[in-house]
């Protein structure tokens, strides 16, 4: 056969495929989140498990119902809604009422994810957007002050909250306690043990689910910026939602850059914004808003860091 006249039928891209599937990746993320759940149950009891279950069920149900209404294929088998539910629950205080779990889950799935086209089309992380929505709508419920007596506010505050208010610093847990998350540490359900989150992060890196650049550079930026602000870098790393955000939410495929240079810029931006909000913002924690802001900036970062196409030249202006 004459090769010059041979016709080939080529399908649409992508032409290079990997064995990894969305469902497989999401299952790995769920596995990586289990150590943090175990610590949460040990510290907070069965209620932590109930909050996680309620968020997951609501997210999955919201996704299935919305896709039915919009006449789309139901994609709950890809487990992305399960991951969103777990991450949202991990961002809630143990005192969160049941209706807050439901409202946050519906907002994350319906408004942030499905109304923009479903998985792969959301421009910000759904779980973080759900947290931000709840925090701006019911701040006292999210910080826990609506559920504890005024005299107990300091003793039940998060380490960053105590530091921000300049309260009795003797109430601050030690760095070791925050790293382990087992003794006297207050915070959201999934953020109290840096060790548990670190174990999950190492698992994801070994499984090649996430790249090391974003979490390592994000955490490293916060550590380095702690010195000029006169803060303990270990305290800044282990307190709040930094480990949870850097490992599990800043690395979201859809809302983070794909190029190596873009990931470095994105991670440094997250770390810088986190420290600025922690030091100068009205809210003691800056992880959620930092990642959301950099999510919005991701398309711009991608535009300026995408590799040049071979043979492409810009049109010269006359």
Residue 129 domain-assigned?
yes
Selection from 35, 32, 45, 26 nearest residue 215 by Cα? 32
Q: Which helix (H) or strand (E) holds 243?
A: helix 242-244
pLDDT number for residue 147 = 45
Selection from 68, 69, 246, 94 nearest residue 158 by Cα? 94
**pLDDT tens-digit readout, 10-32:** 554 455 555 678 889 999 999 99
Residue 161 pLDDT exceeds 60: no
Residue 69 domain-assigned?
yes
Residue 313 domain-assigned?
no
Residue 66 domain-assigned?
yes
Expressed in angstroms, the distance from the first to the final Cα of the chain is 48
Q: Which domain holds residue 251?
A: 22-144+158-305
Q: Torsion over CA of 293, 295, 296 and 297, rounded to 10 degrees?
A: 90
Residue 15 domain-assigned?
no
Residue 87 domain-assigned?
yes
For 198, other C-beta atoms within 10 Å of its C-beta total 18
Residue 89 domain-assigned?
yes
Average of pLDDT values for 93-116?
95
For 30, other C-beta atoms within 10 Å of its C-beta total 16
CA distance 46 to 5: 70
- Contact yes or no for 83/26 (Cβ under 8 A): yes
What's the CATH number where 106 sits?
1.10.3430
Place of tokens 């205080």: 93
**pLDDT tens-digit readout, 202-252:** 999 999 999 999 999 999 999 999 999 988 899 899 888 899 999 999 999
Residue 247 domain-assigned?
yes
Look at the chain and report how many structural domains it folds into: 1
Per-residue pLDDT band for 295 (boundaries 50, 70, 90) equals very high
Average of pLDDT values for 84-101?
95
Selection from 159, 176, 192 nearest residue 92 by Cα? 192
CA distance 146 to 155: 14
């Amino acid at each position: 056969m004459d090769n010059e006249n041979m016709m080939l039928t080529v399908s649409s891209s992508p032409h290079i495929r990997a064995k990894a599937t969305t469902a497989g990746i999401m299952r790995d993320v769920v596995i990586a989140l289990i150590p943090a759940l175990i610590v949460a149950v040990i510290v907070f009891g069965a209620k932590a498990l109930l909050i996680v279950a309620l968020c997951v069920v609501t997210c999955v149900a919201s996704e299935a119902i919305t896709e039915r209404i919009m006449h789309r294929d139901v994609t709950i088998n890809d487990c992305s809604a399960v991951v969103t539910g777990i991450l949202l629950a991990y961002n809630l205080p143990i005192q969160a009422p049941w209706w807050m779990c439901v409202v946050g889950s519906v907002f994350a799935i319906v408004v942030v994810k499905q109304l923009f086209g479903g998985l792969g089309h959301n421009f910000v992380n759904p779980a973080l957007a759900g947290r931000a929505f709840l925090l701006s709508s019911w701040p006292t419920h999210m910080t826990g002050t609506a559920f504890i007596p005024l005299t107990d506010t300091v003793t039940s505050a998060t380490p960053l909250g105590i530091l921000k208010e300049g309260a009795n610093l003797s109430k601050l847990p030690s760095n070791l306690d925050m790293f382990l998350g087992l003794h006297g540490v207050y915070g959201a359900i999934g953020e109290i043990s840096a060790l548990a989150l670190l174990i999950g992060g190492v698992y994801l890196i070994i499984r090649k689910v996430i790249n090391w650049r974003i979490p390592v550079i994000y955490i490293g930026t916060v550590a380095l910026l702690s010195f000029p602000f006169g803060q303990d870098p270990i305290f800044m790393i282990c307190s709040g939602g930094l480990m949870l955000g850097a490992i599990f939410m800043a690395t979201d495929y859809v809302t983070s850059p794909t190029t190596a240079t873009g990931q470095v810029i994105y991670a440094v931006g997250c770390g810088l914004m986190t420290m600025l909000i922690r030091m100068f913002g009205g809210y003691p924690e800056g992880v959620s808003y930092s990642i959301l802001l950099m999510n919005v900036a991701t398309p711009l970062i991608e535009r300026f860091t995408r590799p040049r196409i071979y043979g492409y030249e810009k049109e010269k202006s006359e």
